[in-house]
Amino acid sequence: MDKKINVVVVGLNFGGEFAKIYKEHPNVESIGICDLDSGLTRKVADECDIHKTYSCLEDVLHDDNVDAVHLNTPIPLHEEHTIAVLNSGKHCACAVPMAMSLEGIRNVIKAVKNSGKKYMMMETALYTYQFFYIKQMLENGALGKIQFMRGTHYQDMIAYPDYWKGLPPMHYSTHAIAPMVALAGAQIERVHCFGSGTMDPELHKQYGNPFPVECALLAFENGMKAEATRSMFEVAKIIQEGLFVYGSKASFEWGMRYFDDPYVTTVTGIEKGWIMMDFDQLAVPNYADKLPQSIRHFTAADGHYDPDDPCLPLPHDKASMHHGSHPHLVHEFVMSIIENRKPYVDEILSGNINAAGICAHESAMKNGAVVIVPRFS
């Protein structure tokens, strides 16, 4: 399509990674950037050769030439900023999480409906090359029936900005939960969750959360069950965003370490009453062929992309941009606007993913009591 849009990326500590992708997307006419840190804005502008800059979000909202805004602002501001963008008549993409409360989720959904604009939560875990691979296994029948799933996210956030200090782990569990909701093909309807461990009492004060780790059992509307575990503080574990899917014909296990390739176990037959299985570690392709030619190179670390082989796997230690997900996220958001359709990770899917985490923390604070996840429509 020849139609093009004007996009502004707000918040450049993380958003700078996306600005350069938008700049090269064939359906983006112009890209602007915005950060309260003018020095950072200048740095990103120089590095990416971007000429349109803004000093604050309000200036972006008042610019009638801007079609869409991609927010990478602090998570306590996601609800407020998303609603402001939508109410200004602009499409909105926002980093995870969607909001910090159930009421916040409802407020965002209401703003989407009232504005008629597109909203997309930029959930990296739904666009990694590992997720594309397991989704393909499910669709072609290689998995058989999914019997159980486990999602994990271990990452110590103590060195992050102050608003992270003591955050309930399940309030930032979307990377663990989102792939399971997508694969289940159904919303989460109730959760049981336990908090575990102890942490520095100073970390309790901001959010009233005493737990460094939370582990939830998730029940889906279609009867499927899954487990999600998130740690954020005082856990000696290398970063892991893991996905473990156990099917009747095959199982997929990814995330023993952040840069490891996934393992697939496949049932091969029965011999003398024993189930025979193959066990292989797979070099998963990066699925760059799903993207416009101009942004395919962003699926691989600098210097590791081969234009003659767009499915070249990433090196183990070069899992750039959340395992190649960033250009896929940009492309989906842009094309949802160009094609006038909802993005895949729309306000309803985002709402369920986020609400499950919020309800899980509520359950943990009630010593594992069941909490019903509200249904959004």
Residues 6+ apart with CB under 8 A from 106: 376
Name the pLDDT band for 253 (thresholds 50, 70, 90): very high
pLDDT tens profile 256-293:
666 678 999 999 998 888 888 999 998 888 898 999 99
Give alpha helix (H) positions in the chain: 12-24, 38-48, 57-61, 78-87, 102-115, 129-139, 174-184, 320-338, 347-365
Q: 57 with 179, same domain?
A: no
Quote the CA–CA distance of 42 and 10 in Å, as a whole number: 13
Q: What pLDDT shows up at residue 308? A: 65
Q: Which domain holds residue 57?
A: 5-123
Q: Residue 341 domain-assigned?
A: no
For range 196-201, the mean pLDDT: 98
Per the CB < 8 A criterion, the answer to whether 250 and 144 are in contact is yes
211 in helix, strand or coil?
A: coil
With a cut of 60, say whether residue 240 has pLDDT above it: yes
Query: Which SS3 state, helix, strand or coil, does residue 44 take?
Result: helix
Task: For 62-71, write each residue's pLDDT tens digit.
Answer: 999 999 999 9
- CA dist 325 and 365 (Å) reads 34
Report yes or no on 346 lying in a domain: no
Do 320 and 187 fall into the same domain?
Answer: yes
Of 123, 144, 171, the last residue of a domain is 123
Assign 185 a pLDDT band (cuts: 50, 70, 90): very high
Q: Are residues 156 and 110 in the same domain?
A: no
Alpha-carbon dihedral angle through residues 104, 106, 111, 112, given to the nearest 10 degrees: 120
Check residue 3 and give its pLDDT: 94
| Single-letter amino acid, residue 32 | G
Question: Is the pLDDT reported for residue 232 higher than 80?
Answer: yes
| Residues 140 and 277 both lie in one domain | yes
Q: Is the pLDDT of residue 110 over 90?
A: yes
So what's the pLDDT on residue 319?
Answer: 45
Q: Using CA atoms in the order 152, 92, 15, 107, what is the torsion angle rounded to 10 degrees?
A: -50
